[in-house]
């Protein structure tokens, strides 16, 4: 596979606190890679560095061998909350740009169909459920055809049933659009169900403790014994990393 993302963070501080140290991470094109670890181990901070939202660190982060600061349009970012503009319609939120004409792009309608929201172009965010709003956020993240999509606990604010539906939606649209994904989650079942590989970050600033590759066929079934066995393997790696 072709390497898309190459991360080498020597150090990252928040004030006097060391958040990340000597961390290396590589992601190949077309893969879904998930970061797991205890709260405070730097997962969300790492996503911000990769997205180019925070440049105050020592190290090098490259996307397709180019510094991420130079190509931020090739990176999409989806947060825990949808963060939609309440005064804009769904179509305007998805196609938001400085020209004010992005919502007229036919791609907006195509993306709404992809995430199961055909006909919602003119709806306002206040009329959407939490799951629908997050589907809009996924469509918005894909609008500019990013090569890398970053997701920071994107489904943690919705109920369990909606979460499963959103996981299925994400898997489908990622395959349809051929985008590479790096995601943060605290849910081990979600990590196993979605990922091609899971990277465990240590509790203290330092390198990733280990990577568990998922040799599981797609589409995946949640009641498959292989998923349960893989989850047990992942739990062991996580316990070793955090001395549980």
Q: Which residues is 210 bridged to in the sheet?
A: 200
Furthest-apart CA atoms within the chain: distance in Å: 53
Which pLDDT value is given to residue 238? 83
C-alpha 143: how far from chain center = 15
Query: Rounded to 5 degrees, what are φ and ψ at 143?
Result: -60, -40
| Separation between Cα atoms, residue 92 and residue 60, nearest integer Å | 35
| Separation between Cα atoms, residue 153 and residue 151, nearest integer Å | 6
pLDDT tens sequence across 154-183: 998 899 999 999 999 999 999 999 999 999
Instruction: Name the 3-class secondary structure at 208.
Output: strand
C-alpha 116: how far from chain center = 19
Q: Do 200 and 169 form a contact (C-beta atoms < 8 A)?
A: no
| Separation between Cα atoms, residue 133 and residue 136, nearest integer Å | 5
pLDDT tens sequence across 77-106: 999 899 999 999 999 999 987 456 667 789
Least confident stretch, 6-15, 30-39, 100-109, 112-121: 100-109
Q: Do 54 and 40 form a contact (C-beta atoms < 8 A)?
A: no
Give the CA angle between residues 146, 151, 154 to the nearest 5°.
130
CA atoms within 13 A on the CB side of 154: 32
Average pLDDT over residues 216-220: 89
Which pLDDT value is given to residue 242? 67
DSSP string covering 180-201, please? EEEEE-S-HHHHHHH-SEEEEE
| Separation between Cα atoms, residue 118 and residue 108, nearest integer Å | 10
Average pLDDT over residues 105-127: 95
pLDDT tens sequence across 34-77: 999 888 788 999 999 999 999 999 999 999 999 998 887 899 99
Reading the block at residue 165, the tokens are 């539906």
| Residue 31 banded pLDDT, cuts 50, 70, 90 | very high
**pLDDT of 244 above 70:** no
Mean pLDDT of the chain: 90
**Cβ atoms within 10 A of the Cβ of 120, count?**
20
Fold for the domain defined by 3-83+146-241: Rossmann fold (3.40.50)
């Amino acid at each position: 596979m072709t390497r898309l993302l190459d991360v080498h963070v020597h150090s990252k501080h928040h004030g006097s606190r060391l958040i990340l140290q000597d961390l290396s991470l590589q992601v190949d094109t077309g893969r879904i890679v998930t970061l797991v670890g205890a709260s405070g181990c730097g997962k969300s901070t790492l996503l911000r560095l990769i997205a180019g939202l925070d440049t105050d660190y020592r190290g090098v982060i490259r996307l397709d061998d180019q510094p991420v600061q130079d190509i931020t349009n090739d990176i999409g970012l989806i947060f825990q909350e949808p963060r939609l503009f309440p005064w804009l319609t769904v179509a305007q939120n998805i196609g938001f740009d400085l020209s004010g004409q992005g919502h007229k792009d036919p791609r907006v309608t195509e993306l709404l169909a992809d995430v199961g929201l055909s006909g919602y172009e003119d709806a306002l965010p206040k009329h959407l459920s939490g799951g629908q709003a997050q589907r809009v956020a996924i469509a918005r993240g894909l609008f500019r055809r990013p090569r890398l999509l970053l997701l920071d606990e994107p489904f943690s604010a919705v109920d369990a049933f909606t979460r499963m539906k959103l996981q299925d939606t994400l898997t489908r649209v990622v395959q349809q659009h051929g985008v590479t994904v790096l995601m943060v989650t605290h849910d081990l079942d979600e990590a196993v169900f979605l990922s091609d590989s899971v990277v465990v970050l240590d509790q203290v600033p330092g390198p990733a403790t280990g990577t568990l590759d998922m040799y599981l066929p797609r589409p995946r079934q949640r009641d498959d014994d292989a998923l349960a066995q893989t989850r047990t393997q992942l739990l062991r790696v996580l316990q070793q990393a955090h001395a549980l």
